[in-house]
Structure 1
């Protein structure tokens, strides 16, 4: 939730902020160099094997941490005066300002690529995540700086040794790239680290090890990377483990939001004919079948059903895909079941699938029997009179004619036999 327009913005005194985290210090301690840090931040720095002062880079003669009680009292008095009685006034000031984010980005760009800087990167990216989550205006602010931000984040994804750092970088990328330059992100991701190996491996690990929100964000970033051209789709699809992981996310035991994100990604990469064959060979259709036979109709499941049928429609353009759909197991019944039950979009995808199987290719006559047995004819008659597109309405008429239902003669009175059809994929 964004800040209310009437909210008073608080300027934090510079010397109240830790030089590492840039947050208000809760437990200020001083090094022998005289520089004061928040204890958790400087302790992580020292525990990482560093022997210098982060701010001055002086060699530390002693690693003793001396509590700065005077500064602690000043921060407490200041926090009480601006906290409005909040039990934790410092936490209320955790959202950095745009100026502070600019400073954080500048600091991030100066960091060296070694283990010593991982904790500092975590601190900085955590602040940036809080910033972009706070309001749409903040997200727009960072998006306007994507020329600077995106290369740094991609570099972090490619080189970070800590999975937590990858998750934060992916979270920020997912937030700012929605309206940004997709081609730029794709090129950076797929050329960084020799053919995209490092970046794609890191994103796969984020999907495997992250929490639900992180998994969904990583999948969405993958979709963006794949959306540029055929080459990008093939590069992602051929990366070991990615298709297996995303296909495995499709199932009734998975969260609907993760299933939807995974389906969106698979739909994107299936624009490549070579990828379609890979998806069919990986038993994607069996996973879709399981989704289609579910009885749930919540809003999230509606979106999942629409995307499941769309992906199935795409895969039905391949002979091996049609063979898999017709091969039993209830896939055709699942398609018929969703006619008129979920949404207009789902119905149109379902009709197109049946049209391909029964009217265009006619490779398996048992499909017609399955459609009739599943009450498909009655549903198709209703589809003809629904608000679906003219093309889908014509497909429904074609199907009824193929099924040779005499009772449908009145519904077919306007049917034109000399019609040129165009495949929808």
Structure 2
């Protein structure tokens, strides 16, 4: 009887609401997509990082991949865990702040200092209702953009970046926030200051906001016209011990490196060396590899970029080594880089490095994978260009159009 009772005590039924629809484990950090379905943050971020644009549970196409913390569900899971297994209970949520909505409104309209901003940030984090209250306040966004542009105190800059990050989760006000930030050159300069002097968390959030507001050629040009922003984002990508910082910096650079000037700045600030170092790591983060190759693809669209990549022969070799080794997205970026230096630039040394890494076979493997039509066409052109660099040309003839017999390496 005692043994049966103990077995009953060990059996705990997990409420379905608390399980992540992807991992089926109890959620540690529940976040919701725009479809209303909640997932564990780590699971949904992995899903989105693979290039999926749908909600895993409903298969609806996602107009936005932004996630919103489900604070209510997080508290419920915490309470449940604390009663079933205290050892597994996550840290308790932060205590509710002492600031009321009236006091929050006073802070928004009054003079700003670090102490009052910290209270407002805590107020916004306490609940989704508080966040909406600030985000939809008519004077909040213009005031914070003004404070950010005018203040030279780094702590205030860090806190306002956190406010921007919280507000940007509200789709209804995001366009207004983007518009006001882009209309002020001083505001963009303040982002460069936070990227240079702020703590790592504020640097990552600054990079994400800059990527978020780079919506069209006009906004991309305005950001790219700030060389300090590009330089400090490049510096962020060298933070080898902090993979989220590296990914955030690379992702922002990929979004804004759409002008010739921006690409030349990227080359000047050493992005090719940085990308090569990321690709050469024994076990790099998937997101970092994808973003590094995306930046290189963008740089390779200008003559200077193709020359810089081709001159760094080891970088070309690392790109070839990563083909079919990370993800479909990374492979397509990589093919675009190799095609740019071999077919557009027709660089002989680059062709030799590609051929020396068994590049023809790898390009043929990409051709038989589920790649896009444009990537497949680049692969065809690469095979033709690389044939001259292969010692046994005759063996390549049947591979040009028939590739299904090749086994994965």
Alignment TM-score, normalising by the size of structure 1: 0.66
Paired position in structure 2 for 1:67 = none
Q: 1:306 aligns with which of 283, 290, 298?
A: 290
Query: Is residue 392 of structure 1 aligned with residue 387 of structure 2?
Result: no
Query: Is residue 204 of structure 1 aligned with residue 179 of structure 2?
Result: no
SS at match of 2:308: helix
> CA distance change for structure 1 residues 371 and 163 in 2, over 3 Å: closer, same or farther?
same
Query: Is residue 410 of structure 1 aligned with residue 408 of structure 2?
Result: no
Distance apart, 1:350 and its partner CA: 0.7
1:217-261, CA deviations, whole angstroms, 9 ceiling, x for partnerless residues? 122223334x14444433333335222211122236251111111
- CA–CA distance in structure 1, aligned partners of residues 181 and 340 of structure 2: 37
Query: Is residue 337 of structure 1 aligned with residue 321 of structure 2?
Result: yes
Q: Which has the larger radius of gyration?
A: 1
Q: 2:117 aligns with which of 112, 115, 125?
A: 125
Paired position in structure 1 for 2:260 = 273
1:282-305, CA deviations, whole angstroms, 9 ceiling, x for partnerless residues? 3322222222222224xxx21111
SS at match of 2:139: helix
Counterpart contact for 2:351–2:386, Cα < 8 Å = yes
- CA–CA distance in structure 2, aligned partners of residues 373 and 392 of structure 1: 21
Query: Is residue 150 of structure 1 aligned with residue 141 of structure 2?
Result: yes
Aligned residues: 312
Q: CA RMSD in A?
A: 2.8
Counterpart contact for 1:212–1:258, Cα < 8 Å = yes
Equivalences for residues 3-402 of structure 1 within 5 A: 3-4=72-73, 93-95=95-97, 100-101=100-101, 103-112=102-111, 118=113, 122-136=114-128, 138-143=130-135, 145=136, 147-178=138-169, 179-192=171-184, 196-197=185-186, 199-225=187-213, 227-239=214-226, 241-251=228-238, 253-297=240-284, 301-359=285-343, 361-402=344-385
Distance apart, 1:384 and its partner CA: 1.8
Counterpart contact for 1:183–1:228, Cα < 8 Å = no
Distance apart, 1:151 and its partner CA: 1.2
| Structure 2 unaligned blocks of 5 or more | 1-28, 30-70, 77-92, 388-392, 404-409
| Structure 1 unaligned blocks of 5 or more | 8-90, 416-425
Q: Which runs of 4+ in 1 moved over 6 A?
A: none
> CA distance change for structure 1 residues 174 and 324 in 2, over 3 Å: closer, same or farther?
same
